[in-house]
Each structure stands twice: as structure tokens, then as C-alpha cells.
DNA sequence: ATAATGCGTTACATATTTATGACGGTATGA
DNA sequence: TCATACCGTCATAAATATGTAACGCATTAT
């Protein structure tokens, strides 16, 4: 549940307060007072979510939201609007601009965190800390552990040891199970978007992940789709008969 | 859960009503009509939680809340704000200066109690005075002592000597056993939010904690999760099956 | 069939992250 | 006031994770 959150708010008292609460919840917080700052900031570090004040000195929050939505790199970032008003019309146009949710001031930190969690779960499921269980594998983001249910049904689940990258990789693949991801997609989502890394590196990490899975006989879950990429799938791919 | 609650409310009828309900729920209640009174009161008896009316005759609730947050002794006290529904919400500039929650009047006693309970549990779960016992370790918040049950079953439990920080660290980790915490999270929750302390310092305290645990052969309970943080866990993080 | 492409696998140098012991400063208490 | 306990930081060692290149096999295209 640790996300990078960009807070765009001109009232410093509020900004600080929000930042405080977000940090305490374990998020990484970036702050900006103006849309201009926010743009710069999001250019260097791509946030996972943007908390956006409705009224900003230089550009309206609405406008900034549109800008985010227009650009390829940022168009998928969830946005939560902060507004002091309660008028229905604001709600409409805020959501229109592509905001995922909006909160009217004043709001409690609890409400804020709840909304953030909800939005993240909706837009970036791999960031929510829910346990994922597929194909006899159980991955728990909170305890950071992966268990494999023994194939020969019965008996204790075995614990799986993974390096940091392999853990994220598996988490991502399991979150979007059955879907094929190109190496580039995996690099962007798991390594980050600014990195310059060889596509082939993904192969190696897939290899390492598989090796760990082999120790519990689950290597068939990570499948290669030739010419396309990789996939986590419960169904066996090709080789049927043995 | 018995807590000392300071109620700051100038309308006596409401104050009394609240006090009545809180007492009935087993809390110890302090009442103040003005911020000035409230300050005096909190100087003599440190409350566990403050119920604060938004509008006060001498000082705004907002200001009082800030004052509480500023001072070392009171900065961690949870605050719940009371606001009248009739007040224009956009006059309330932003979050309640660090309020943990807020309730709009009129509210039901049941709602009030529920929020109080939630805030207390959320804000200081590791402050509840319950003895925690996991993995052969027994930590008693009241006596501020930690005992280790000897591994080679039966024989007297050994007492464990810990510094203040190590005690809080262990208390926190045991409270949220099995969960992984990043260094930043640990700093925020155990040291406090405003602190400017190196992440690496956590390592050192973990080291000191482990050293103490070694003396009773329990050091395996505090585990490193590379790239993420630390965890208190009963399960060994090493290999599982052979 | 042969070439071209894609993938799996391994080895390895490098980078990153943790562990640890030492040090100076501060608070605490006798 | 002196002694002790604690704390935060640093330097260095140790551990382990990471990205690449290289090579060989498998699959696909020509």
C-alpha cells in the first residue's frame, strides 16, 4: 500500500497536514503549491496518485487535471480533487475532467486515506495490499510472503523465497493474471518509467522467478507467449501430454 | 477501553450530554467551556483524547488544536472536532488543524462513541496496556518489562533488558506481528512524524534490539525483509522444508 | 534446408542494501 | 558534578540483488 502521492495545494497549512497524514500511512509524498511546480515534479518522478486542489493560483486544478489526462505518460494516474465547495456542479465538472474521486473540505484524515485506498485499489490494484491467491499460490503484500500449497493435495504450504524484484514481478503478474505483458510493459510498471534497461533483463528475472517456483513445483504458472511477452496463468499453455 | 477524555464545549447542555454518555461508557471525563480552561486542565491531567468544539468563545477550536499539536507533551493526543451543521463548510478552512476525525452536530451518542473508539484504536493501538505474548516473548506495557520463555522448555522465564527506544520498537513490532514495516513507517510511528532522523538509524536500533534478544535466543523473531523493511515474525524466514 | 529471430540459461562484475562496531553528544540520576 | 545510559551518525564490512553479455537451442520465416 506504499504509493508515491503528489499533493497539489496552495494553502501550506493544509498541504502540510495532508502530507503528514499520508507519510504516517506509509506513502511517499511530493508537494507542490502551483500547477507549474506540479508539472515539473511529475516530470521527474511519476506519482502513483495526485491529490489536487480545486483552486490553484496559476492554473485551475481542473485544467491541470486535463493536462495530466492528455499526456501519455500521466494519463493513467488517478486523480482525487479537493474542493471547498459542496455544490453539485463542481462535482460534475470535476469528474468530467477525469478525476477519479473528489473530497470536499473539511475532511478527516481517515476519510482521505479511505478514498485514496479505494482509488488505488480501483486504478492500481497491484498497489493495494490485498492477499492474492491463484493457482495454489498465495501472495501476501502485507507480510511480504508467498506460500505454495503443496500439489499433492494436503499438508503444509511451503514458503517461497524471492528477491525484491522477483516479488514485485510475481505480484504484478498475479494481479493481472491471464493477461500477457510485453517486456517493455513489465519494465515500465515494475521497474519504473524512467529507467533505461535492456528488455532481455526481464528474461533473467523471469528465470529467477521460475527457479524459485520450481522449488515448489509451480513453474508452469509463469508462461512465455512467444513474440509477445509473459503471462501468469493457471491453465497449462501448450505441452499437454506427458 | 477506559480513556481520559477532555471535552471542550461552551454549550453546557451539549457538554453535559456528551459527558454523560462518555461516563456511561466507562471513560473518565474532564470538561472545559473555554480554550483557556482547557489548556489549564490539560496541563494538570494529560487526556488521552480531546473532543473539541469548533467554535469557542475565547479562542477558536482550530487555534486550540494547533496549540495542542505544537507542544511536545500534547502533540500526540488524538482530537475529534465537533462542528455545527449550520456552519458554512467552506468557512472551515481545510482540515481541522490535525484533527483525527470530526463530527457534525447533531450526532447520536452511539456515533460519538464509535468514533472515539475508532480513533483511540487507530491512534494508539500499541498504547493499549495489554500484555502481548508472541513467539515465546511476553511484553508487558504496564510494568515496561519483557520476558522470554526459555527455549529448552520449562525453566524460568528470563527478563530482558531493553533501552526505551528498543522497548517501543519491540512493542510496535509485536503489536503488528508478521507485518513488514519500512524504516520510514517505523520512524513515523515510533519516533514521531516531525523528526528528521536518518532511515539508517532504524538499522542501529534493530541491531540493539536483536543483541538483547540474542541473550535469550530469540533474535530470529526480528527479521529483515530486504528492500522493504523489518518484521516481527514467529515463522522462520529461512528455508522451510527439507 | 538455411537463415533469422526469439528465448532460456549461466556466469560475472557492479551496485545496492544491511549489519556492525565505534564515537561524540546529551540526558538522566545519584 | 560525575557517572551511566541512550541516542543518532558514520565508516566499513558483509550480504545479496541487479543488469549484461554470451552462448546454445527452438521456432519461424525465406
Encode pLDDT of B26-77 as tens digits: 788 899 988 888 888 887 777 888 988 877 777 667 778 878 877 767 777 8
- Residues above pLDDT 90, as percent of chain B: 32
User: Which chain A positions have a beta carbon within 8 Å of B100's beta carbon?
Assistant: 108-110
pLDDT at B211: 96
Terminal CA-CA length for chain A: 42
Q: How far is CA B238 from CA A6, A147, A158, B208, in A?
A: 38, 13, 11, 22
Q: Where are the alpha helices (DSSP H) in B80-199?
A: 109-123, 164-175, 183-186
Among the partner residues B102, B184, B193, nearest to A108 by beta-carbon distance: B102
pLDDT at B88: 46
User: Which chain A positions have a beta carbon within 8 Å of B122's beta carbon?
Assistant: 110
Average pLDDT per 10 consecutive residues for chain A, totaling 242 residues:
90 81 84 92 90 82 87 90 65 65 77 88 89 95 92 70 95 96 94 88 96 93 95 71 35
pLDDT at A2: 83
- Scanning every strand, the nucleotide with its C1' closest to A187's CA turns out to be D19
Residue B78 has pLDDT above 70, yes or no: yes
pLDDT at B192: 74
User: Which chain A positions have a beta carbon within 8 Å of B94's beta carbon?
Assistant: 11, 13-14, 17, 105-106
CATH of domain A132-232: 1.10.10.10
Mutate to test the interface with B, among A106, A139, A166, A192 (most CBs of B within 10 A): A106
A167 vs B241, more confident: A167
The half-sphere exposure of B185 on its side-chain side, counting CA atoms within 13 A, is 17
**Mean of pLDDT over chain B:** 81
What are the structural domain ranges in chain A? 4-127, 132-232
C-alpha cell, A224: 512465455
Residue B210 CA to D14 C1' — how many Å? 17
Q: Does any CB of chain A come closer than 8 Å to the CB of residue B188?
A: yes
Q: Where are the beta strands (DSSP E) in chain A?
A: 4-8, 28-32, 49-53, 79-83, 101-104, 132-134, 137-140, 145-148, 158-160, 180-181, 222-225, 229-232
Q: Is the CB of B239 under 7 A from strand D?
A: no
Q: Does any CB of chain A come closer than 8 Å to the CB of residue B100?
A: yes
Q: Which residue is nearest to nucleotide D5 (CA to C1')?
A: B163
Q: Is the CB of A182 under 7 A from strand D?
A: no
CA distance A127 to A123: 9
**Residue matched to cell numbers 493457471:** A234
Residue A186 CA to C30 C1' — how many Å? 63
pLDDT at A240: 39
CA distance B5 to B37: 14
pLDDT at A1: 74
Q: How far is CA A16 from CA A4, A84, A101, B95, in A?
A: 16, 17, 21, 10
Residue B131 CA to D15 C1' — how many Å? 36
CA distance A198 to A201: 5
pLDDT at A149: 83
Q: Do B95 and A143 touch (CB under 8 A)?
A: no
Residue B166 CA to D9 C1' — how many Å? 18
pLDDT-based confidence at residue B92 (cuts at 50, 70, 90): very low
- Scanning every strand, the nucleotide with its C1' closest to A239's CA turns out to be D26
- Which residues between 70 and 99 in chain B have a beta carbon less than 8 angstroms from any beta carbon of chain A? 83, 89-90, 92-99
**Residue matched to cell numbers 510498471:** A189
The mean pLDDT value for B114-135 works out to 76
Q: Say whether domain A4-127 belongs to CATH 3.40.50.2300.
A: yes
The residue in chain A having the minimum alpha-carbon distance to the alpha carbon of residue B191 is A24
What CATH number does domain B4-123 carry, 3.30.830.10, 3.40.50.10470, 3.40.50.2300, 3.40.980.10? 3.40.50.2300
**Residue matched to cell numbers 540493539:** B208
Q: Of A105, A58, A103, A109, which Cα lies nearest the Cα of A81?
A: A103
Phi-psi category of residue A52: left, alpha or beta, with phi > 0 → left and psi -120 to 50 → alpha: beta
pLDDT at B120: 77
CA distance B136 to A201: 44
Q: Which residues pair with A103 in a beta bridge?
A: A82
B24 vs B94, more confident: B24
Q: Of A173, A174, A204, which Cα lies nearest the Cα of A186?
A: A173
Q: What is the pLDDT of residues B179-207, one digit of tens each?
A: 999 999 999 888 876 678 999 999 999 99
pLDDT at B128: 67
C-alpha cell, A139: 501472495
DSSP string, A140-180: ETTTTEEEE--SSSSSPPEEE---HHHHHHHHHHHHTTT-E
Nucleotides of D under 7 A from a protein CB: 5-11, 16-22, 27-28
pLDDT at B242: 30
Exposed e or buried b for every residue in B10-35, given b needs 16+ CB within 10 A? beeeebeebbebbeebebebbbbbbb
Q: What is the pLDDT of residues B98-113, one digit of tens each?
A: 677 777 767 778 788 8
**What is the pairing mode between strands B137-140 and B145-148?**
antiparallel
Q: Say whether domain B129-232 belongs to CATH 1.10.1370.30.
A: no
pTM over 0.75: yes
Q: What is the pLDDT of residues A40-67, one digit of tens each?
A: 998 888 899 999 988 787 777 788 888 8
Mutate to test the interface with B, among A27, A108, A131 (most CBs of B within 10 A): A108
Amino acid at each position: 500500500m506504499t504509493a508515491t502521492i503528489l499533493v497539489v495545494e496552495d494553502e501550506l497549512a493544509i498541504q502540510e497536514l495532508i502530507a503528514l497524514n499520508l507519510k504516517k500511512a506509509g506513502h511517499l509524498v511530493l508537494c507542490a503549491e502551483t500547477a507549474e511546480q506540479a508539472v515539473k515534479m511529475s516530470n521527474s518522478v511519476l506519482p502513483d496518485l495526485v491529490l489536487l486542489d480545486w483552486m490553484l493560483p496559476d492554473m485551475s486544478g481542473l485544467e491541470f487535471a486535463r493536462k495530466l489526462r492528455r499526456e501519455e505518460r500521466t494519463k493513467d494516474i488517478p486523480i482525487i480533487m479537493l474542493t471547498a465547495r459542496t455544490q453539485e456542479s463542481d462535482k460534475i465538472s470535476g469528474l468530467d475532467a477525469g478525476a477519479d474521486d473528489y473530497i470536499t473540505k473539511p475532511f478527516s484524515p481517515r476519510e482521505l486515506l479511505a478514498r485514496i485506498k479505494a482509488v488505488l485499489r480501483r486504478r492500481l490494484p497491484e498497489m493495494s495490499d490485498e492477499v492474492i491467491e491463484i493457482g495454489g499460490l498465495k501472495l501476501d503484500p502485507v507480510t511480504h510472503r508467498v506460500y505454495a500449497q503443496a500439489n499433492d493435495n494436503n499438508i503444509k504450504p511451503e514458503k517461497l523465497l524471492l528477491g525484491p524484484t522477483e516479488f514485485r514481478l510475481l505480484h504484478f503478474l498475479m494481479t493481472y493474471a491471464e493477461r500477457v505483458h510485453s517486456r517493455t510493459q513489465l519494465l515500465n510498471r515494475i521497474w519504473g518509467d524512467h529507467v533505461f534497461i535492456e528488455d532481455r533483463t526481464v528474461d533473467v528475472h523471469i528465470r529467477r522467478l521460475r527457479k524459485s517456483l520450481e522449488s515448489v513445483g509451480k513453474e508452469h504458472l509463469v508462461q512465455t507467449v512467444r513474440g509477445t511477452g509473459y503471462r501468469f496463468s493457471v491453465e497449462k499453455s501448450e505441452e499437454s501430454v506427458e
